[in-house]
Amino acid sequence: MKLSDLKIIVTGAAQGMGAHFATRLAEAGAQVAAGDVKEDGLAALAEATAGLPGKVHTRRLDVADEADVGAFVEWAHGAMGGLNGLINNAGILRDGLLVKKDRTTGAITKLSKEQWDAVIGVNLTGATFMVRDVVAKMVATEQRPGVIVNMSSVARHGNRGQSNYSAAKAALAANTTTWMREFGAYGIRVGAVAPGMIETPMTQGMNQKARDALVANIPVGRIGLPEDIWVAVKFVLECDYFNGRTIDVDGGLAM
């Protein structure tokens, strides 16, 4: 699809990669419905993109709230006069070892249900309901073609301290293939991009020792930037022969 033809939802759009994607799309003339729980970030995005060829529409969105997802999709369709795309970007971290023994006291701590549920609720359940409701709207309105980009992660291969995050991102990669098979009859493609270590507010909040160790293992010698990931997202959006696959964009990182 041509970027200028897109009427597309971007979740997690208030900062980081989501804000970058929304900006790049608006620069190309697309209409974007940008959602996030951070309303101040959405306001800043709207202001920053006001003079661009495309249009960024903003509204609060909590992807972990099923009713909010449905309402946002309906709003986005009305605001943009249609809907033919989704970048499924919203995500959070609640890292922790599944089981940890304190080296000094011997005390055992376990990953809490709250940590598990929070990440699965946003990164998997919320992402899944976004796809479900966006595709339902496309099918109901007989929109063809359509395209979905799921944001997975190199962590889907497994990463210490990220049982919840790895599980969610692995499931998104697997369901990218599942949904390709389910939605092909409706003219909807589904692809995924799996970033490695990217400079965003989320990774800036990581433990510095863990962050430094990860960067040291990136063969290209640097942390990634949102623009690096945008190049891959743009490819998925534009290449009508790309479907059902996940692209790793990680600088060669081996976790």
* Residue positions annotated with a catalytic role: 165
Can you list the positions of beta strands (E) in 17-167?
Answer: 31-36, 55-60, 85-88, 99-101, 108-110, 146-151
Token pair of 74, please? 């309906």
Residue 50: count other Cβ atoms within 10 Å of its Cβ: 10
Can you tell me the distance from the alpha carbon of 150 to that of 193, in angstroms, rounded to the nearest whole number? 6
Can you tell me the distance from the alpha carbon of 4 to that of 102, in angstroms, rounded to the nearest whole number? 55
- Looking at residue 199, its amino acid is E
Can you tell me the distance from the alpha carbon of 205 to that of 72, in angstroms, rounded to the nearest whole number? 28
Using CA atoms of 115, 119, 124, 129 in order, give the dihedral in degrees to the nearest 10.
100
Answer for the pair 191, 247: CB distance below 8 angstroms, yes or no. Answer: yes
